[in-house]
Amino acid sequence: MVINFSIQKMRSGQQNVARLSLQLAMRISDTQQIPSSGIETDPSSTHVSPSVSAETPRTSANAMLVGLPSGAIRVESPAQRPLADIGRLAAGQMRRVADMKAVALEREVVLARHHPADSLAPGLKARVRDVAEQLAVRCAVSPEVGKSQQPVAGAWRYLQAVDAVCRKLSVDQVGEVRNELRAALAQSGHSQPDRDLLQNVIDEITRPGGQTLAQFMSERAFTGLCLPNLRMTAEGQEEPDSRTFNSVLPNLAESTFDHNPMGRTLLWEGACQLFTGPHQAQRREKLRKVVFEFPNVTKEGQSRLETPWEFMMAVDQLRVDEPVDLHALEQRS
**91 band by pLDDT with thresholds 50, 70 and 90:** confident
All structural domains of the chain with their residue ranges: 2-80, 83-210, 224-332
The count of other CB atoms within 10 Å of the CB of residue 12 is 10
Q: How far apart are CA 253 and CA 267, in angstroms?
A: 10
Minimum mean pLDDT among 65-69, 149-153, 175-179, 255-259: which range?
A: 65-69
Dihedral angle computed from the Cα positions of residues 120, 123, 129 and 135, in that order, rounded to the nearest 10 degrees = -110
Write out pLDDT tens, residues 213-270.
999 999 999 999 999 999 999 888 999 999 999 999 999 999 999 999 999 999 999 9
Sign of CA pseudo-dihedral 84, 147, 257, 134? positive
Query: In the chain, pLDDT over 70 holds for what percent of residues?
Result: 71
User: Which comes out higher in pLDDT, residue 222 or 53?
Assistant: 222
Dist. CA 76–CA 32, nearest whole Å: 10
Cβ-contact 162, 177 below 8 angstroms: yes
- Higher per-residue pLDDT: 214 or 16: 214
pTM of full prediction above 0.85: no
* Region 283-307 average pLDDT: 96
pLDDT band at 318 (very low <50, low <70, confident <90, very high): very high
Average confidence (pLDDT) over 51-63: 37
Which band of pLDDT confidence, cut at 50, 70 and 90, is reported for residue 138?
confident
Average pLDDT of the residues of the chain: 80
Residue 110 has pLDDT above 90, yes or no: yes
Average pLDDT over residues 41-50: 38
